[in-house]
A and B are shown apart, each in its own frame.
Chain A
């Protein structure tokens, strides 16, 4: 079955530590996205990528970094510069990154601070 796989499901970060969240898709989609979800709020865009080796900042990119070395992979690093990292992180992809194409989501990674 095609889909998006996020790992791990739960992640704990110590103060001053960088952590990396994995996102892999086998849908052959060109565009990939990272969103952050806080309780009682909608999703906010962190970064997105429409093509390999290229990505753009979203609305809340500070304290995060990404890479897109392969079409199927779009890992997100939460750096120590992100002062409030506790949240639910969702990865998504779409076929061509166009406005009329729906995005498909993974099951998320819940990040907590120790």
Chain B
């Protein structure tokens, strides 16, 4: 079945460092891919999405490119801030998933130090 694998956390970076969070997926169909962010005690917020191969999603300085050849959707940011500290979830929704169900990775906790 479909699955999402993220790099394990926690990831600790200094402010202004470069961020990469790896995400790979397995899907039988043609998935859409998403990154969500969760701040402490809150629900998930959509960060960015890509719905077909080679699409690049971007928002708030974060980017991710849908790579079908490597089945990956890695999240990157050129210069992180303390306010980026949160848990990041990669997720997919497959074309043949009834109801648009999301399959989530286990989440990667990011901590940014001043």
Contacts and interface: CB of A to CB of B under 8 A. Distances in A.
B95 A42 contact: no
A99 B94 contact: yes
A107 B42 contact: yes
Interface residues of A, number: 30
Nearest to A45: B101
Contact of B46 (A56, A96, A98, A102): A102
Which interface residue of A43, A92, A97, A99 has the most chain B CB atoms within 10 A?
A99
Given A41-B106, A42-B106, A100-B51, A58 B43 contact: no
B105 A103 contact: no
B99 A48 contact: yes
B45 A50 contact: no
B112 interface: no
A70 B106 CA distance: 32
Interface centre among B45, B51, B99 (most CB of A within 10 A): B99
30 contacts: A4-B43, A6-B43, A33-B99, A33-B102, A42-B104, A42-B106, A43-B44, A43-B89, A45-B101, A48-B101, A50-B99, A56-B98, A56-B99, A58-B101, A94-B100, A96-B100, A97-B100, A98-B100, A99-B32, A99-B96, A99-B97, A100-B93, A102-B34, A102-B49, A103-B46, A103-B102, A105-B44, A107-B41, A108-B41, A108-B42
Interface of B: 4, 31-32, 34, 36, 41-46, 49, 51, 89, 91, 93-102, 104-107
